[in-house]
């Protein structure tokens, strides 16, 4: 385990981003990371060098980025605190779901291990955040994107991959949140729009949005 440690918010953000993309692909490019974080590629390169020096990532200048064992453990701790903070905001403070992700980003940095344990107990040891992601990021569940769900078969929404405010607000208004039962009916506009039913109402989602909604049978 590395002897050096940092509580830098910027380091935390990078570790969380690398962890998130690592769940989707074996590695993440510097360009994709820069786009996600809204920074210049040169800024990403400098931070990646720092993370590599800290022993948190493996990185080659023109290669892909991956978390080391230490980086994985630190990222898991950050992600868990973030998701518990989201539950606190949604369940105890009744904050609208479309706001909890951004606000949890501020809270997570001030949560110590002692507070984390008390918070988890106070919340009743939840298994998932309000967006459906597991509190323990090591837990895996077999799901598929709504865009690949078979037509005419009822599915259950498990989680929302896109937690940005406009997307969550859009899905919240239509009650297409984790736990909702949805039945894809047909594709329109040459496969660009999915028509589905949920709770007796008909909704449409763009193909790109349907890819970010994870469901199961």
pLDDT(7) > 50? no
Q: State mean pLDDT over 183-203.
A: 97
Task: Give me the CATH topology for the region 144-216.
Answer: SH3 type barrels. (2.30.30)
Of 146, 183, 160, the closest CA to residue 97 belongs to 160
CA atoms of 48 and 112, how far apart (whole Å)? 25
Q: State mean pLDDT over 10-18.
A: 89
pLDDT of residue 209: 97
pLDDT in tens, 134-168: 999 988 889 999 999 999 999 999 999 999 999 99
Query: Per the structure block, which two tokens stand in for 83?
Result: 């998701």
pLDDT of residue 5: 42
DSSP3 helix / strand / coil % (the chain, rounded to 5): 45, 20, 35
The model's pTM is 0.86
pLDDT tier at 3, thresholds 50, 70, 90: very low
Of 149, 136, 206, 140, the closest CA to residue 180 belongs to 149
Q: State mean pLDDT over 196-202.
A: 97
pLDDT of residue 187: 98
pLDDT(120) > 80? yes
Where do the structural domains in the chain lie, given as residue ranges? 9-67, 77-139, 144-216
Task: Identify the residue whose tokens are 């919340």.
Answer: 123
- The Cβ-side half-sphere exposure at 110, using a 13 Å CA radius, reads 6
Top CATH class, 9-67: mainly alpha
Q: State mean pLDDT over 169-190.
A: 97
Across 12-16, 20-24, 138-142, 189-193, least confident range? 20-24
CA atoms of 181 and 175, how far apart (whole Å)? 10
pLDDT of residue 30: 82
pLDDT in tens, 22-69: 766 556 778 888 888 888 888 888 899 999 999 999 876 666 788 999
Residue with the larger pLDDT of the pair 26 and 133: 133
Task: Give me the CATH topology for the region 77-139.
Answer: Diphtheria Toxin Repressor; domain 2 (1.10.60)
pLDDT tier at 102, thresholds 50, 70, 90: very high
pLDDT of residue 26: 56
pLDDT of residue 22: 74
């Amino acid at each position: 385990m590395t002897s050096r440690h940092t509580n830098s918010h910027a380091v935390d953000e990078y570790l969380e981003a690398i962890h998130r993309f690592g769940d989707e692909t074996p590695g993440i490019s510097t360009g994709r990371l820069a786009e996600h974080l809204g920074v210049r590629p040169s800024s990403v390169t400098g931070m990646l060098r720092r993370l590599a020096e800290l022993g948190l990532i493996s990185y080659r200048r023109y290669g892909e980025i991956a978390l080391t064992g230490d980086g994985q453990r630190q990222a898991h701790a950050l992600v868990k605190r973030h998701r518990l903070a989201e539950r606190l905001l949604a369940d105890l403070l009744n904050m609208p779901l479309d706001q909890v992700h951004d606000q949890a980003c501020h809270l997570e940095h001030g949560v110590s291990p002692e507070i984390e344990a008390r918070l988890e107990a106070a919340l009743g040891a939840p298994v998932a955040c309000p967006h459906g992601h597991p509190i323990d990021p090591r837990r895996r569940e077999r799901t598929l994107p709504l865009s690949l769900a078979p037509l005419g078969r009822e599915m259950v929404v498990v989680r929302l991959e896109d937690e940005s405010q406009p997307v969550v607000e859009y899905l919240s208004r239509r009650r297409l949140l984790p736990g909702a039962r949805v039945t894809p009916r047909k594709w329109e506009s040459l496969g660009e729009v999915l028509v589905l039913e949920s709770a007796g109402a008909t909704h449409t989602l763009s193909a790109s949005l349907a890819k970010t909604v994870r469901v199961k049978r």
